[in-house]
Amino acid sequence: MKFLLLATLFAAVSAFTTSPKSAFKSSTALSMGKYKPALRYEKCIPVSDLPKPGKATSGVAGGLAICIAVDKKGSVYALGDKCPPINQPLSFGKVNDDGTIQDPVLGTKFSLKTGEVVGKWCPSGIGGLIGGAFTPEGVPTYPVKQSGGFIEVQVDVNAKFNFEANFWSGILDAQGKADGKYY
CA angle centred on 164, ends 161 and 167, rounded to 5°: 150
Res. 171: pLDDT tops 70: no
Res. 181: pLDDT tops 90: no
Res. 28: pLDDT tops 80: no
Tell me the average pLDDT across 21-27: 33
Task: Encode pLDDT of 67-123 as tens digits.
Answer: 999 999 999 999 999 999 989 999 999 999 999 999 989 999 999 999 999 999 999
Of 1-5, 17-21, 60-64, 114-118, minimum mean pLDDT range: 17-21
Report percent pLDDT > 70 for the chain: 72
Report how far apart, in Å, the C-alpha atoms of 127 and of each of 11, 103, 118, 120, 150 are.
19, 10, 15, 10, 36
Sort 152 into a burial class: Cβ within 10 Å, 0-12 / 13-18 / 19+: buried
Sign of the alpha-carbon torsion through 119, 123, 124, 127? positive
The top-scoring range by mean pLDDT among 15-29, 99-113, 119-133, 153-167 is 99-113
